[in-house]
């Protein structure tokens, strides 16, 4: 395989980034249209609840590990790794809580629309 010049590589990376963004935008649009179906919303809620439970478990485990007396003997790199894991678990927990709240309100809106259209018919 021939060597790519820096200019060609940068150009190729831009093309790849553009294609990835185009694909991501199409995927977001498809997901938005799927979220009009209450069953899909319920599946998403269940997914993020499971993610929430897993993140809570990881967070609890990291806190327990960091509170052990032996953790005071860890070197700086291991302490930093454990702190990163704890921060990541906190972020995932907060994100999943947020998503579940948003999806539950979306599901409530969909159910209200369905019940109002059924009552109007």
Residue spans of the domains in the chain: they are 41-107
Residue 64 has pLDDT above 80, yes or no: yes
Sign of CA dihedral 9, 10, 13, 14: negative
Residue 10 has pLDDT above 80, yes or no: no
The residue that leads in pLDDT, 58 or 14, is 58
Mean pLDDT of 89-114: 91
Of 28, 47, 25, nearest to 103 (Cα)? 47
Cα–Cα distance, 21 to 30 (Å, whole number) = 14
pLDDT at 9: 76
pLDDT at 1: 45
Global pTM value: 0.66
């Amino acid at each position: 395989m021939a060597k790519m010049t820096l200019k060609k590589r940068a150009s190729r990376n831009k093309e790849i980034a553009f294609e990835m963004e185009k694909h991501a935008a199409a995927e977001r649009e498809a997901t938005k249209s799927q979220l009009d179906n209450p069953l899909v919303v319920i599946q998403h809620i269940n997914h993020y609840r499971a993610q929430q439970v897993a993140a809570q478990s990881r967070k609890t485990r990291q806190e327990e590990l960091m509170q052990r007396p032996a953790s005071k003997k860890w070197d700086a790199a291991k302490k930093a790794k454990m702190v990163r894991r704890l921060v990541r678990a906190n972020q995932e927990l907060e994100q999943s809580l947020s998503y579940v709240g948003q999806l539950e309100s979306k599901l409530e809106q969909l159910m209200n629309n369905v019940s109002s259209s059924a009552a109007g018919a």
